[in-house]
C-alpha cells in the first residue's frame, strides 16, 4: 500500500484538477476577507468564526469534482485493473483512493484557511465564540468534508465510466443541497406570523399572534432536525448560515457516514467485475 500511496501522491501533485481546486479555495478565502474588510468600513462586524464557516457551500462540490476527474480517470485508463494485475489487493487500492481524496480535499480547505488566518485578524473583531466551540465547528466541517469524500470515493470505485460518474456525483450533491434547503426552510418557519396581512376585503389585520400552521413541533420537528444534522449537505447549510443546533452530534454522524460508506465500498469493490 505504501507504493500505491507514493505513486498516488506523485500523480496528485501533477493533477490540474487538484491545483485548480487549491487556487479556487484560496481565492474564496481572499474574497471572504475582502468582504469582511469592506463590511467593517461600513460598520458591519465580522468575527473569525464567521470567516471559518463561509466556505462550507463550496466544500460540498470539491469531493465530487475531484473524485470524478481524478479517480474516474483510473477506470478510463484501466489503471485500477493494472494495479490488481501487479499484485495489489483490492482493499489496498480502495483505501489508497480514499486517502488521496481526503488529502486533496483537506489541502484545498487548507488553501482557503491561509488568507483567512493571515488577513482575518485584521478585519474581524475577535473569534465571536469560545475557542472550544470554534474548534468543534472546524472539526465538524473537516469531518463533513471527509464524509463527502468517502461517499464520492464509493461512487468513483464502483462506476467505471468517467462521464457517467461525473454526472451521478454532481447531481447527487446538487440534489442533496436542494433537499437540505427544503428541510432547513421548514425548520426556519416562525411559530407565529409576523407583521400585518391584508384580507380579501382590503383590511389590514395584525397577524403577530396568529400561529403558523407550517411551524414544526414535536416528533416531526425532531425528524426534520435529524435529517438536517445527518446529511453532509444539511450540515454544510447549517454551518454556512450559523443555524447548527447539535454540533457534537453532527461530528458523530459524519464519522458514522465515513465508516459505513467505507465498509460498504470495500465490500462492493471486492465483488466488482473490472473489465
249-259: pLDDT as tens digits:
999 999 999 99
How much is the pTM?
A: 0.88
Q: What cell numbers appear for 137 in the block? A: 465547528
Q: What cell numbers appear for 271 in the block? A: 465483488
SS3 state of residue 205: strand
Q: What is the pLDDT of residue 208?
A: 58
CA distance 156 to 149: 10
**In angstroms, how far is CA 53 from the centroid of its own chain?**
11
User: Which of residues 79 and 56 earns the better pLDDT score?
Assistant: 56
Q: pLDDT tens for residues 183-227?
A: 998 888 877 766 555 454 555 555 556 677 777 888 998 999 999
127-132, long-range: CB < 8 A, 24+ apart:
127/47, 127/48, 127/49, 128/47, 128/48, 128/49, 128/50, 129/47, 129/49
Burial class for 171, CB neighbours closer than 10 Å (0-12, 13-18, 19+): exposed
Average pLDDT, the chain: 86
Q: pLDDT tens for residues 112-153?
A: 999 999 988 888 887 888 888 989 999 999 999 999 999 999
Q: What is the pLDDT of residue 56?
A: 85
CA distance 66 to 166: 9
Task: pLDDT band for 267, please (50, 70, 90 cuts).
Answer: very high
Amino acid at each position: 500500500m505504501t507504493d500505491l500511496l507514493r505513486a498516488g501522491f506523485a500523480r496528485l501533485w501533477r493533477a490540474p484538477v487538484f491545483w485548480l481546486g487549491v487556487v479556487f479555495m484560496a481565492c474564496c478565502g481572499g474574497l471572504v476577507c475582502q468582504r469582511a474588510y469592506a463590511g467593517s468600513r461600513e460598520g458591519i462586524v465580522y468575527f473569525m468564526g464567521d470567516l471559518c464557516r463561509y466556505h462550507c457551500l463550496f466544500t460540498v462540490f470539491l469531493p465530487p469534482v475531484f473524485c470524478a476527474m481524478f479517480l474516474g480517470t483510473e477506470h478510463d485508463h484501466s489503471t485500477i485493473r493494472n494495479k490488481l494485475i501487479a499484485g495489489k489487493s483490492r482493499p489496498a487500492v480502495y483505501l489508497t483512493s480514499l486517502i488521496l481524496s481526503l488529502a486533496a480535499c483537506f489541502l484545498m480547505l487548507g488553501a482557503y484557511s491561509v488568507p483567512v488566518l493571515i488577513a482575518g485578524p485584521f478585519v474581524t473583531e475577535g473569534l465571536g465564540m469560545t475557542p472550544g466551540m470554534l474548534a468543534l465547528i472546524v472539526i465538524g466541517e473537516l469531518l463533513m468534508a471527509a464524509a463527502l469524500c468517502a461517499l464520492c470515493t464509493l461512487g468513483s470505485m464502483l462506476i467505471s465510466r468517467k462521464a457517467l460518474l461525473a454526472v451521478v456525483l454532481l447531481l447527487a450533491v446538487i440534489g442533496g443541497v436542494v433537499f437540505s434547503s427544503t428541510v432547513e426552510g421548514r425548520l426556519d418557519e416562525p411559530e407565529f406570523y409576523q407583521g400585518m396581512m391584508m384580507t380579501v376585503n382590503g383590511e389590514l389585520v395584525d397577524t403577530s399572534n396568529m400561529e403558523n400552521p407550517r411551524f414544526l413541533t414535536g416528533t416531526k420537528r425532531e425528524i426534520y432536525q435529524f435529517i438536517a444534522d445527518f446529511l453532509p449537505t444539511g450540515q454544510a447549510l447549517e454551518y454556512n448560515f450559523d443555524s447548527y443546533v447539535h454540533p457534537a452530534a453532527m461530528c458523530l454522524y459524519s464519522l458514522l457516514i465515513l465508516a459505513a460508506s467505507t465498509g460498504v465500498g470495500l465490500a462492493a469493490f471486492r465483488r466488482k467485475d473490472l473489465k
